[in-house]
């Protein structure tokens, strides 16, 4: 993590915010390509991700390459002024490959070899897959590495989406290799994994196998390392292609599209270090009542992964998707609010899946920039309007979001370890809890950055309030950084069941909460998970859920609230201790949304955070981006059904009505003002 470094443009040759989509010309006749370019120009499209699933188009039979179509399309796009984010097509190995290499197909946890016929039908450890993927990548990079239309490279697609984990023999051998590198010898592995339990001690590496379906529970440390190994294999596939592309196409940024809001198997802090531009795909779940807050969280997380620098929204949808049970359409204006919320939160562009809606295939009912009905449709008219607006916001490119005063910790080791089987409560989930804390700040109008558990005290020093709602697996390094953070004036709030195990899921020695015990100034005597749906009352009027604990404060630690009901009735529920110039708080339960909002509002104020900007909160987002030269832009996104007035002076770039230092934003509208 480093300070945000503004840049002129992430993709140098597109000196503005990017607007566009995935483009798959192989689905269409060449006549349609011409119409596509005409429509792209009219819609303000500046960048397309080209050929993501085009492997069987480019190499219809093994070693027979045919680039004629792609040559023509790239030429047409270039002539039309549309830049290309050229994809390696390796997310969709052709059927000839699967037939020649059936051993490359993934195997399930039950030992079933999966049939080809979808995308990502490969095992990430397969040498044959890696070899053929490298070959097609090299052919593309050699051919188009210097092409003036190609401004960026898109490796694969959403790594792990369909094939994150594989239990085949090839993967098993690679897993053993990976474990040797991580743990060294078998004795160390036995000790770290605690294989003495249930007599699971390994006496030979050949006995070590992926966590396949067995008669009962498996060793959690084995499961945890397997998750890490599978992620590392996916990342290795990405890196191999990236390095080939870099060799042939120097100076052009290389990326791949993350799914930071949805994927539970990729440690995106590790991935972020490997891409030149952080790019994210974001899809709303239509039935999610918190989807607007969820979008804000995912965008903040993605910006965190980009270390504050501009990032790219690589995919979202113009309207409905096709993969949910009921694919409700976005309401008029909703797409625009979604896209501009991402831009407000640091995206230097907004791209969609996909340009033209497919006439057939698995995603034929997924919305696109050009619907089946063509240009004279509600969706395409909104697409054109948004394109013009993104064009009008060009000057925002390269600016960065104003850092928040509060930050929340997001950590994959803590997440993966917490949600393994055989934990105290299946309600003790990770992602939802982090989102709930972020949402509590968001709904009250407060900004919140997202930081890794590896952030140093120096990196944390810019935050007044640091939140660790759910940090089950914790290292001593993290504890030390948080201690130094608090000592130098920061306010830290830690949620329950935190700090208790290490990265091999071994309980830290001594009383709970393990490595955080001294910092927090308390001892947890007993964990007391609640029954399904059970709530507990606290003396301060808050309501707890999911979890309670019997906590014993150290001398000097103050009790701010006690449990009034439930298994810990009478015991401390919220505790606080002074630490140097700062303070630490501990919560022994999880809270309902209402309670969390009230508590976080108090804790923000106690930490010295400025009050939320006027007008912000309850469905109105106000976000500021700043350029290195001192210019700033205020984005006001009004998700509510009433107009909102926000104090602001400057020149409006997008809608809104200015009068007397106030910008009025109509219901469902978005305003962007260059401030003066």
Residues that bind ligand GAL in the complex, under the rule CB under 6 A = 157-158, 161, 281, 283, 315, 317, 321, 353, 363, 366
Q: How far is the CB of 111 from Zn ion (least distance, A)?
A: 11
Residue 61 bears catalytic tag? no
140 binds, among Zn ion, ligand GAL, none (CB under 5 to 8 A by kind): none
Measured from the CB atom, is 157 or 664 closer to ligand GAL?
A: 157
Residue 577 near residue 494 (C-beta atoms within 8 A): no
Candidate list 315, 334, 389, 621, residue with the active-site label: 315
168 binds, among Zn ion, ligand GAL, none (CB under 5 to 8 A by kind): Zn ion
State both tokens at 393.
């916001």
Q: Across the strands, what pairs with 624?
A: 634
Measured from the CB atom, is 90 or 664 closer to ligand GAL?
A: 90
How far is residue 57's CA from residue 482's CA, in Å, rounded to a whole number? 53
363 binds, among ligand GAL, Zn ion, none (CB under 5 to 8 A by kind): ligand GAL
Q: How far is the CB of 315 from ligand GAL (least distance, A)?
A: 6
Candidate list 59, 158, 382, 621, residue with the active-site label: 158
How far is residue 659's CA from residue 41's CA, in Å, rounded to a whole number? 35
Q: How far is the CB of 353 from ligand GAL (least distance, A)?
A: 4
225 binds, among Zn ion, ligand GAL, none (CB under 5 to 8 A by kind): none
Measured from the CB atom, is 104 or 161 closer to ligand GAL?
A: 161
483 binds, among ligand GAL, Zn ion, none (CB under 5 to 8 A by kind): none
Residue 334 bears catalytic tag? no
Q: How far is the CB of 278 from ligand GAL (least distance, A)?
A: 16
Measured from the CB atom, is 223 or 282 closer to Zn ion?
A: 223
Q: Three-state SS across 475-532? A: CHHHHHHHHHHHHCCCEEEECCCCCCECCCCCECCCCECHHHHHHHCEEEEEEEECCC
Instruction: For residue 84, give Cα distances in angstroms to 136, 335, 549.
Output: 18, 23, 55
Instruction: For residue 607, give Cα distances in angstroms to 145, 464, 491, 581, 613.
Output: 51, 6, 6, 11, 17
Q: What is the CA radius of gyration of the chain?
A: 26
Q: How far is the CB of 363 from ligand GAL (least distance, A)?
A: 6
* Interface ranges with Zn ion (CB under 5 A): 123, 125, 166, 168, 170-171
Measured from the CB atom, is 127 or 332 closer to Zn ion?
A: 127
* Location of structure tokens 């606080």: 576
Which residue lies nearest ligand GAL, judged by its C-beta? 353
- Among left, alpha and beta (phi > 0; psi -120 to 50; other), residue 158 is left
How far is residue 440's CA from residue 426's CA, in Å, rounded to a whole number? 23
**How would you label 314-327 residue by residue, b for 16+ Cβ within 10 Å and e otherwise?**
bbbbbbbbeeeeee
Q: How far is the CB of 636 from ligand GAL (least distance, A)?
A: 28
123 binds, among Zn ion, ligand GAL, none (CB under 5 to 8 A by kind): Zn ion
Question: Number of C-alpha atoms within 13 angstroms, CB side, residue 145?
Answer: 16
Measured from the CB atom, is 158 or 483 closer to ligand GAL?
A: 158
Which of 632, 366, 590, 587 has its CA nearest to residue 494?
587
Q: Catalytic residue positions?
A: 158, 315
């Amino acid at each position: 993590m480093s300070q945000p470094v503004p840049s002129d443009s992430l993709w140098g040759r597109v000196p503005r915010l990017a607007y566009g989509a995935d483009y798959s010309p192989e689905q269409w006749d060449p006549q349609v390509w011409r119409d596509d370019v005409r429509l792209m120009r009219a819609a303000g499209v500046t960048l397309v991700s080209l050929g993501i699933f085009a492997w069987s188009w480019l190499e219809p039979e093994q070693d027979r390459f045919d680039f004629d179509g792609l040559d023509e399309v790239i030429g047409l796009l270039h002539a039309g002024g549309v830049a290309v984010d050229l994809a390696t097509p390796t997310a969709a190995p052709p059927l000839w490959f699967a037939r020649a290499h059936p051993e490359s197909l993934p195997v399930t946890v039950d030992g079933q070899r999966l049939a080809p016929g979808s995308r990502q039908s490969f095992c990430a450890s397969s040498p044959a897959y890696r070899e053929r993927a490298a070959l097609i990548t090299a052919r593309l990079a050699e051919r188009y590495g210097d092409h003036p239309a190609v401004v960026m490279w898109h490796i694969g697609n959403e790594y792990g989406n369909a094939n994150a984990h594989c239990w085949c023999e090839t993967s098993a051998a690679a897993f053993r290799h990976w474990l040797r590198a991580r743990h060294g010898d078998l004795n160390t592995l036995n000790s770290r994994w605690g294989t003495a339990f249930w007599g699971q001690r390994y006496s030979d590496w050949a006995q070590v196998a992926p966590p396949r379906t067995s008669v009962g529970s498996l060793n959690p440390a084995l499961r945890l390392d397997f998750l890490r190994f599978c992620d590392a294999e996916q990342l290795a596939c990405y890196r191999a292609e990236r390095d080939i592309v870099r060799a042939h196409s120097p100076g052009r940024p290389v990326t791949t599209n993350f799914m930071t809001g949805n994927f539970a198997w990729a440690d995106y802090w590790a991935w972020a270090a490997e891409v030149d531009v952080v790019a994210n795909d974001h899809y709303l779940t239509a039935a999610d009542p918190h989807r607007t807050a969820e979008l804000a969280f995912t965008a903040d997380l993605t910006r965190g992964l980009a270390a504050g620098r501009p990032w790219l929204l690589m995919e979202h949808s113009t309207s409905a998707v096709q993969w949910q049970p009921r694919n409700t359409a976005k309401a008029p204006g909703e797409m625009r609010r979604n896209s501009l919320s991402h831009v407000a939160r640091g995206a230097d562009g907004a791209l969609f899946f996909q340009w033209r809606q497919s006439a057939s295939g698995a995603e034929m009912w997924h919305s696109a920039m050009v619907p089946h009905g063509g240009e004279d449709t509600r969706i395409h008219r909104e697409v054109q309007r948004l394109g013009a607006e993104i064009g009008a916001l060009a000057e925002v490119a390269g600016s960065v979001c104003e850092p928040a005063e509060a930050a929340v910790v997001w950590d994959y080791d803590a997440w993966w370890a917490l949600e393994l089987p055989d934990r105290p409560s299946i309600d003790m989930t990770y992602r939802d809890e982090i989102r709930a804390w972020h949402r509590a700040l968001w709904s009250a109008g407060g900004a919140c950055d997202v930081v890794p558990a590896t952030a140093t005290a120096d990196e944390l020093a810019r935050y007044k309030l640091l939140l660790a709602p759910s940090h089950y697996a914790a290292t001593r390094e993290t504890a030390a950084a948080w201690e130094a953070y608090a000592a130098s004036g920061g306010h830290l709030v830690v949620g329950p069941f935190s700090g208790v195990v290490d990265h091999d899921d071994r309980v830290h020695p001594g009383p709970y909460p393990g490595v955080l015990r001294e910092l927090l100034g308390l001892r947890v005597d007993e964990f007391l998970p609640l029954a399904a749906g059970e709530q507990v009352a606290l003396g301060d009027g808050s309501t707890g859920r999911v979890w309670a604990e019997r906590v014993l404060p150290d001398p000097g630690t103050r009790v701010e609230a006690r449990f009034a009901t439930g298994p810990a009735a009478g015991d401390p529920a919220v505790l606080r201790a002074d630490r140097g110039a700062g303070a630490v708080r501990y919560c022994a339960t999880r809270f309902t949304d209402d309670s969390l909002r009230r508590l976080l509002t108090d804790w923000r104020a106690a930490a010295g955070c400025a009050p939320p900007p006027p007008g912000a909160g309850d469905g109105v987002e106000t976000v500021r981006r700043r350029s290195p030269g001192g210019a700033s832009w205020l984005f006001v996104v009004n998700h509510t059904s009433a107009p909102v007035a926000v104090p602001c002076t400057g020149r409006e770039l997008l809608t809104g009505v200015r009068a007397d230092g106030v910008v009025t934003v109509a219901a469902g509208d978005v305003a962007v003002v260059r401030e003066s």
